[in-house]
Structure 1
């Protein structure tokens, strides 16, 4: 079969830092001494397939979304004015979530690179070529651990979905519907008959342990300490996904009052979520005042908002002064809750100021939001500091921890589902079984 034509290269787009090539330069540090890249996804292990240098060079020049047929848009531009064509292009590009586009772009670039290296055509692709590609990817092992597979069956299925999506966007039949591809994926799943590896939940005692290993208060690490405190407490109490945490801005926050007790509470507004990608529902998550000052989400929000306000109004010098005052409060074990007397913040000014920006090792606070991957890496780093296995934890550990801890504390399914925005009770029951395998279990009635 012939190699991919140059015309095809105009219709592929590697995600920044994705695909078979190396990742881009590191971005700001996260405040813990390790660089944190806010705009690149680490290439997954499937992209470790051999890719010639000339293939990488050609792939760097592609543009546009892999899910939008640019040739069709060219025809639209010839028939309609630029504004109408531009509007169509914007909405077509928005048809998929940014995370899906990023993953599909990376997967499509990896497949295109493999086709170029093997002198195969990627669009339209032959079903046998797709099956061989998936089989080769399935046999790839980790470079740092040859005894472990580099790819899970679910990742391979996502790669097949990306190939199907690109063909569909170009009006072509999907090669993944062929029996040879479907049977190959089925064979991979059967050969890899292992239970899915779930991340360990961060329970309440684990959360307090993680908080015990935050950087020291004061300059330069106090800013990262305050940000990470709010991130961990918000992710846990709000049962938030890592992408939801990363997307939060000050405009999405409001401090209200608990109508039952009169205590302050923090209300978060979520926009597009994994289960509501079109933002049809106005999801609000309420975080009540914590029982203890160190684990109070509202106090943590006040601490972080004061630092951000000091930086905005007075620059670096004012931030250092605010950090010194914060350090004095933290060193005093008698320090009470401050959320009752806090007067609020004006950072919710319509500018979409990110709630969780990067913080480098010098205490400099960035302007852009952290990525979802950065959230997961932050949880892993704190687990490592606490002497836990970092590979057992991730961004989902906070959300899973909420559900598991709530189940352990006797919360009903309905209560857990409301805060976590789950719609399927079976998902919640999974966490309940994890928390207490004897819950609603007839074995307790056997009389042994």
Structure 2
């Protein structure tokens, strides 16, 4: 595989400074700023100074580019590109143009633990390797280049990696209603932080929301630039308007049978005592729990909250502590609704915002397990 792989110090230099698409748009020039020197990886016309009347268009283009993918995706793609660039530099391989043979050796290194840039024996999972390939393809495409993932040097190696290293998918444990109630009991209702966490857990569960959707909500429509939706409290419940992976959708969250487990009451209590009337719903509590900040929470806070509350409440206490800590994350709330709600599949699909019924069925794994006994049905 190594024969013919391009080498050369000039090709490998400046690897981590290679611009991503955000930088490419920025290099078009901003009003009042001097034009940047052209990058050797970009054609001259790409980095030419734009006329003054097009400067605002360049700014808008940059904003649209940022909106094309989530912040988490951009961070992952940037990190993966830097890792690949660094690996090419250490091996003396050229970064440009994309060479399937180089990429084939790269995924072999990270799959086998032969990557000298990571701790000895640190092998990456198949899903991580596949994401790295997607990252490389995306980064090359933003530079006007194409990485042929169907080339035998990549496709055949990847097929072998899947056959040898693929493992069954690890799904996060579904938080069922009795688990959620136990988790709520671990929260301090006398503090702002406890009220906020209570509202996040109930809203996330009842709405079947992703963690980014939970923290992305505002009190009302068009209140912040980074909003992913807003809430509207009605007589019978709460209407949540969301911009998710599959586009805009409305999520109906009905009132609970008891105020202690009602997501609407929990949210109203949090907003009232935190004195939030505009902007992000869920914010950081500061000043020893007595003050509420202005910025919205990071979605990682939802995952940490679910894990902390589940462990404290003793959910799945039949398992060792180390194993239990890996079971819970933000997705546990979403899975819990699908695994416990005894409703028609189409209603769950709409609530969760799934594009296909097959995806919804994967979420209903605990609810439907052993519901149909084919052993008895066959006469045994």
TM-score (norm 1): 0.68
Query: What's the CA shift for 1:70?
Result: 9.0
Q: Classify the secondary structure of the residue corresponding to 2:340.
A: helix
Compared CA separation, residues 243 and 123, structure 1 to 2 (3 A): farther
**Partner in structure 2 of residue 236 of structure 1:** 205
2:313 matches 1:307: no
Compared CA separation, residues 8 and 192, structure 1 to 2 (3 A): closer
2:312 matches 1:356: no
CA contact (8 A) 2:256 2:262 kept: yes
**Partner in structure 1 of residue 310 of structure 2:** 383
**Partner in structure 1 of residue 81 of structure 2:** 108
Q: Classify the secondary structure of the residue corresponding to 2:274.
A: helix
2:362 matches 1:396: no
Compared CA separation, residues 385 and 8, structure 1 to 2 (3 A): closer
CA contact (8 A) 2:21 2:142 kept: no
Query: What's the CA shift for 1:304?
Result: 0.3
How big is each residue's C-alpha offset from its partner over 1:201-258, in whole Å with a ceiling of 9 and x where there is no partner?
00001101111211x343xxx1110111011001100000111112111121111122
How big is each residue's C-alpha offset from its partner over 1:33-75, in whole Å with a ceiling of 9 and x where there is no partner?
xxxxxxxxxxxxxxxxxxxxxxxxxxxxxx9xxxx96965423
**Partner in structure 2 of residue 434 of structure 1:** 366
How big is each residue's C-alpha offset from its partner over 1:246-302, in whole Å with a ceiling of 9 and x where there is no partner?
2111121111122xxxxxx1221112x1222xxxx3x11121111122211111011
C-alpha separation between the residues in 2 aligned to 1:79 and 1:302? 49
* The one of 254, 261, 271 aligned to 2:232: 254
C-alpha separation between the residues in 2 aligned to 1:431 and 1:112? 38
2:295 matches 1:289: no
* The one of 338, 341, 344 aligned to 1:412: 344
C-alpha separation between the residues in 1 aligned to 2:327 and 2:128? 19
C-alpha separation between the residues in 1 aligned to 2:151 and 2:90? 23
Q: Classify the secondary structure of the residue corresponding to 1:437.
A: coil
Q: CA RMSD in A?
A: 3.0
**Partner in structure 1 of residue 176 of structure 2:** 203
- 1:307-326 paired onto structure 2 within 5 Å: 307-309=273-275
Compared CA separation, residues 377 and 121, structure 1 to 2 (3 A): farther
2:280 matches 1:274: no
C-alpha separation between the residues in 2 aligned to 1:354 and 1:152? 36
Query: What's the CA shift for 1:135?
Result: 1.9
How big is each residue's C-alpha offset from its partner over 1:303-356, in whole Å with a ceiling of 9 and x where there is no partner?
1011221xx6xxxxxxxxxxxxxxxxxxxxxxxxxxxxxxxxxx14xxxx2111
**Partner in structure 1 of residue 128 of structure 2:** 155
**Partner in structure 2 of residue 443 of structure 1:** 375
* The one of 357, 364, 378 aligned to 1:425: 357
C-alpha separation between the residues in 1 aligned to 2:264 and 2:110? 47
C-alpha separation between the residues in 1 aligned to 2:160 and 2:150? 15
C-alpha separation between the residues in 2 aligned to 1:234 and 1:147? 43
* Aligned residues between the structures: 334
- 1:335-346 paired onto structure 2 within 5 Å: none
Q: Classify the secondary structure of the residue corresponding to 1:358.
A: strand
Unaligned runs of 5+ in 1: 15-62, 259-264, 313-346
Query: What's the CA shift for 1:168?
Result: 1.1
CA contact (8 A) 1:213 1:382 kept: yes
How big is each residue's C-alpha offset from its partner over 1:77-134, in whole Å with a ceiling of 9 and x where there is no partner?
2697322333333334433333322221121122122222333222323322222222
Higher strand share: 2
* The one of 280, 295, 303 aligned to 1:368: 295
C-alpha separation between the residues in 2 aligned to 1:439 and 1:111? 47
Q: Classify the secondary structure of the residue corresponding to 2:294.
A: coil
